[in-house]
């Protein structure tokens, strides 16, 4: 499909007068232009026109008519002027110039926004067609404008095809839609099955049907069922784009390192057989110079810098500190004669060819995660591009009626969703590029729709919430009845994180992985480290393992019946042989503050009759999470 041509019209008195910055227009422009943006990947567009106008009906109409004339742009997005204030006239201006209304696009934005805030019902946006141009009113705030565009982005390319009467593209899109319809239980029948599973609040099961397994058994099940993804096999990428990726295939050095005999010190290349004494200084060689043409004779030396090549017949380098200047040039700019004050050993301070790495030597094994040092090593050995495994596509979905997006007005009984940004950031810190799949309310049809929407785009879906024993925790039965998922485990003997669930299903003939984490913030972060990251690493051939160290407790711990993963700060010092483990405070699973500054999870055993408390000074195992600290 040809690129979709966009026109962006910001409607704002204050921006027009340069009293405020046009943040909304910039946000939408980046959504369209930024190749890394998910919206941009869907739209495949370019911004042809961009302008700011005041809240004036005549001016708005003038631009809409001008840009839509002769098909100059395919889509005009107006931004702002859709509210209730006296100057908000964008919808009125749009209605007067469009020839066909397209209310479904506005309805889609409204339905999506109502799930975030009931105040969305106050939006008055209009959408319609003039000639061969689609015109859509977006709200004025940067966040709301971006959210609305993300909701309707998938429909815009098809709308443009319909307006252009691109019959071939229209036919292909309809065929794809038909092929992507998943055979599923109708919602009405699914409701019966879900409700029969959950039963009424009074009749619901008091005990989970899933057996309690150990963390080790859970990891074994993940290892057993996680197959290497066919991530378009491999792609050859520039080194600059490979940070955090997984190397595909062993890498061998193309050259000897160093590729020439090099000086280790600033000093003089000499014949070792000359011994101590006076030397005439022939010339100077610095790093980057060529030394092969220089011939050494008895009583002659050559000044060299660290890393510089040395003459072929030089047999040693004497550092500057072991010499004395005897004579310089008349202008004192060059040395003419020096005296060597120490005995000389053959080969001293010379790096032989290939002493660091030999040509053809294995430098990186397939499956290595590529960090700064690995990429530097590849560059040093002559590589500009290398083969890497594509990363799995990952989605993160929060669930819960009580959740709201940060930045909205908090309603009674609600909390802001902290899990999603925490999990998304953890994934990015580990080299992945996850998608934000939003929030799913504890409503059957909404949750099914959200999961289906996510599975169309990702290989792995990570959710938080709705997996415990509450009367609204319906995620597991939904996965089973709507997606025919196999739940490999649904309870783990650990604290926090007991209801963690791992499932797989086939969706559109592809195997999908679902890791459902508990909703409590600490539980979500702990289980993300213990289960989600190992799953993702296995899927993309990452052979790295978490680092486990022994640590000395700096406080006592009352042991829980379940093995516990307690957040702690490890500190190293010059006195103790082991790092010291300091508790981050109250370990309750809802207290995200206990994760602040934590760089390790202490692996505490379950209590037994003979051992109910770990005392200060005892040694436990700890899994490192991030940077360590020196006290």
pLDDT, tens digit, for every residue of 588-609?
A: 444 445 456 789 999 999 999 9
| Contact in structure between 591 and 418 (CB atoms under 8 Å) | no
200 confidence band (pLDDT: 50, 70, 90): very low
Give the global pTM. 0.59
Sorted by sequence, the CB contacts under 8 Å of residue 104 that are 6+ apart come out as: none
Task: Tell me which of 367 and 31 has the higher pLDDT.
Answer: 31
**Whole-number percent of the chain with pLDDT over 90:** 66
pLDDT at 451 over 90: yes
Write down the pLDDT at residue 181: 39
Q: Which structure tokens are listed for 243?
A: 């940070």
Phi-psi category of residue 174: left, alpha or beta, with phi > 0 → left and psi -120 to 50 → alpha: alpha
Write down the pLDDT at residue 628: 40
H, E, C per residue of 414-443:
CEECCHHHHHHHHHHHCCCCCEEEEEECCC
Q: E strand or H helix at 386, and its extent?
A: strand 385-389
| Span 475-503, pLDDT tens digits | 999 999 899 999 999 999 999 999 999 99
With H, G, I as helix, E, B as strand and everything else as coil, classify residue 532: helix
The b/e string for 461-494 (b: 16+ C-beta within 10 A; e otherwise) is bbbbbbbbebebbbbbbbbbbbbebebbbbbbbb
pLDDT at 174 over 60: no
| Contact in structure between 25 and 93 (CB atoms under 8 Å) | no
pLDDT at 25 over 80: yes
Domains of the chain and CATH, by start: 4-180 (3.40.980.10), 234-256+356-389 (3.90.105.10), 262-351 (2.170.190.11), 394-540 (3.40.980.10), 548-624 (2.40.340.10)
What integer is the mean pLDDT of 371-390? 93
Sorted by sequence, the CB contacts under 8 Å of residue 132 that are 6+ apart come out as: 68, 71, 74, 163, 164
pLDDT at 517 over 90: yes
Q: To which residue do tokens 């039965």 refer?
A: 477
Q: Which structure tokens are listed for 171?
A: 């036919």
Sorted by sequence, the CB contacts under 8 Å of residue 118 that are 6+ apart come out as: none
Phi-psi category of residue 199: left, alpha or beta, with phi > 0 → left and psi -120 to 50 → alpha: left
Task: Tell me which of 538 and 176 has the higher pLDDT.
Answer: 538
Write down the pLDDT at residue 196: 47
Please give the mean pLDDT across all residues of the chain.
87
- Report the C-alpha gap between 611 and 586 in whole angstroms: 21
| Contact in structure between 6 and 157 (CB atoms under 8 Å) | no
| Span 328-343, pLDDT tens digits | 988 878 899 999 999 9
112 confidence band (pLDDT: 50, 70, 90): confident
């Amino acid at each position: 499909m040809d690129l979709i041509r966009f026109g962006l019209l910001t409607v704002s008195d204050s921006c027009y007068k340069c009293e405020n910055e046009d943040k909304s227009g910039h946000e939408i422009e980046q959504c369209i232009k930024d190749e890394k943006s998910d919206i941009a990947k869907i739209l495949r567009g370019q911004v042809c026109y961009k302008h700011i106008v005041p809240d004036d009906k005549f001016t708005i109409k003038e631009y809409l008519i001008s840009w839509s004339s002769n098909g100059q742009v395919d889509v005009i997005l107006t931004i702002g002027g859709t509210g209730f204030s006296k100057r908000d006239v964008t919808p009125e201006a749009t209605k007067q110039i469009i020839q066909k209304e397209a209310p479904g696009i506005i309805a889609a934005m409204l339905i999506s926004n109502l799930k975030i805030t009931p105040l969305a019902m106050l939006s008055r946006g209009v959408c319609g067609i003039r000639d061969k141009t689609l015109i859509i009113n977006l709200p004025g705030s940067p966040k709301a404008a971006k959210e609305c565009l993300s909701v309707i982005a998938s429909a815009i390319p098809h709308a443009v095809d319909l307006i252009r009467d691109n019959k071939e593209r229209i036919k292909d899109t309809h065929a794809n839609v038909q092929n992507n319809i998943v055979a599923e239980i109708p919602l009405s029948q699914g409701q019966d099955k879900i409700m029969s599973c959950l039963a009424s609040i009074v009749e619901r099961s008091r005990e989970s049907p899933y057996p309690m397994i150990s963390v080790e058994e859970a990891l074994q099940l993940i290892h057993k069922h996680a197959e290497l993804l066919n991530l378009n096999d491999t792609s050859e990428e520039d080194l600059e784009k490979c940070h955090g990726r997984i190397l595909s295939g062993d890498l061998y050095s193309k050259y000897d390192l160093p590729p020439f005999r090099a000086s280790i010190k600033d000093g003089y290349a000499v014949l070792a057989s000359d011994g101590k004494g006076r030397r005439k200084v022939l010339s100077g060689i610095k790093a980057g110079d060529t030394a092969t043409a220089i011939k050494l004779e008895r009583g002659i030396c050559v000044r060299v810098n660290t890393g510089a090549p040395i003459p072929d017949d030089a047999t040693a380098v004497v550092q500057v500190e072991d010499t004395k200047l005897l004579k310089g040039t008349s202008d004192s700019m060059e040395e003419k004669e020096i005296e060597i004050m120490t005995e000389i050993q053959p080969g001293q301070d010379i790096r032989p060819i290939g002493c660091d790495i030999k040509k053809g030597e294995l430098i990186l094994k397939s499956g290595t995660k590529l960090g700064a040092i690995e990429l530097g090593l590849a560059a040093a050995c002559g590589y500009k591009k290398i083969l890497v495994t594509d990363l799995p596509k990952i989605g993160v979905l929060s669930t819960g009626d009580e959740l709201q997006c940060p930045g909205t007005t908090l309603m009674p009984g609600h909390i802001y969703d902290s899990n999603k940004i925490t999990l998304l950031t953890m994934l990015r810190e580990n080299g992945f590029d996850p998608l934000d799949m939003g929030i799913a309310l504890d409503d059957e049809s909404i949750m099914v729709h959200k999961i289906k929407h996510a599975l169309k785009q990702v290989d792995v879906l990570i959710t938080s919430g709705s997996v415990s024993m509450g009367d609204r925790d319906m995620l597991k039965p939904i996965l089973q009845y709507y997606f025919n998922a196999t739940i490999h485990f649904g309870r783990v003997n650990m604290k926090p994180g007991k209801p963690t669930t791992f499932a797989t299903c086939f969706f559109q003939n592809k195997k999908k992985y679902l890791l459902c984490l508990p909703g409590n913030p600490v539980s979500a972060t702990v289980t993300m480290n213990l289960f989600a990251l190992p799953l993702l690493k296995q899927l993309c051939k990452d052979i790295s393992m978490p680092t486990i160290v022994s640590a000395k407790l700096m406080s006592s711990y009352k042991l829980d019946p379940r093995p516990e993963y307690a957040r702690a700060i490890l500190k190293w010092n010059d006195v103790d042989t082991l790092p010291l483990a300091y508790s981050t405070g109250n370990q309750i699973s809802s207290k995200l503050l206990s994760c602040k500054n934590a760089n390790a999870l202490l692996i505490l055993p379950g209590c037994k009759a003979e051992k109910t408390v770990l005392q200060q000074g005892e040694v436990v195992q700890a899994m490192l999470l991030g940077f360590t600290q020196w006290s």
